[in-house]
Amino acid sequence: MLIRKPADIAPSEITNASLYRDRRMFLKHLAAGAAGMSGLTTLDAGAQQAADKIEQFTRSALSTKEKQNSLKEVTTYNNFYEFGTDKTDPAEFAHKLRTRPWTIAVEGEVAKPRTFAIEELLKFPLEERVYRLRCVEGWSMVIPWIGFELNKLVKLVEPTGNAKFVEFVSAVQPDTMHGVHMPVLPWPYFEGLRMDEAMHPLTILAVGLYGQILPKQNGAPVRLMVPWKYGFKSSKSIVKIRFVEQQPKISWERVAPHEYGFYSNVNPNVDHPRWSQATERRIGEFAKRKTLMFNGYGEHVASMYAGMDLKKFF
């Protein structure tokens, strides 16, 4: 009888992870090529989508009518550093994320601190919001999110007069997220908004996209979406929302304060120190587009920043 002993050497010590991934990508490409010819891939994807459908949601007048990026684009190319720093990493590794049970603790300067289970959040009246998303790296997409305005949740906990800012804390699951073992960012991922930004009707908590529950790589089961700010401001997989008096120091600001600021409003006139923010590549398009002030949401949000020097408060 053959008795298997655990190997003395972990596979990761023999093959470096990126080589391993490259090989898997290569194999996947081969497989995808073969399957594509026989029409197998679409069947599989179709079955998956049916299982995760969100049945009831309304459409919002705040949605853009621009051409939406495909589900494939939205789910195979994004940043979610907890699962690695390549933009294909979330799609490859986030399936490990445990999304049940899931709760969001809402606490701090509030009269009624409370913990919401994800099942309660899914019972909020949901609407579809098709928003532009502009990444600080210079690419953008148009994504049909499903969610509800953050202010609806905020009103339930009754913030006190001391609540000037809102902090968002994302999940850390050391066993499912290999990225949190890297000192790339301080973990957990930490974000924040000013109170008026958090209460703004454009600011939503998203629980789905494209009519289905939020894919894990996009920040399941619940994430923030603040469409006039660079993408990193919209925290994924949120576990805690805290109301505070002082402006919080967000994760990216802690590691590179000269490159990433608290506000991080999309602004074509304020460059990242290392690259221009004047243009962007909309995923799926060949030519670059001009980046719009506040990502095109200026008529809704510009008044919140009246009189502020946006070069200083970047």
Chain residues that interact with another protein, rule: CB under 8 A:
18, 29, 32-33, 70, 72-73, 76-77, 81, 85, 87-88, 137, 139, 182, 184-185, 255-256, 274-276, 281, 283-284, 286-288
Minimum separation from the CB atom of position 41 to another protein (A)? 11
Q: Which is nearer to another protein, 275 or 313 (CB)?
A: 275
Which CB, 141 or 163, lies closer to another protein? 141
CB-nearer residue toward another protein: 65 or 274: 274
Give me the least distance between CB of 2 and another protein, in Å please.
38
Q: How far is the CB of 74 from another protein (least distance, A)?
A: 9
Residue closer to another protein by CB (options 41, 64) is 41
Least Å distance, CB 125 to another protein, is 32
* Rounded Cα–Cα distance for residues 103 and 124 (Å): 15
**Which C-beta is closer to another protein: that of 200 or that of 233?**
233
Q: How far is the CB of 143 from another protein (least distance, A)?
A: 13
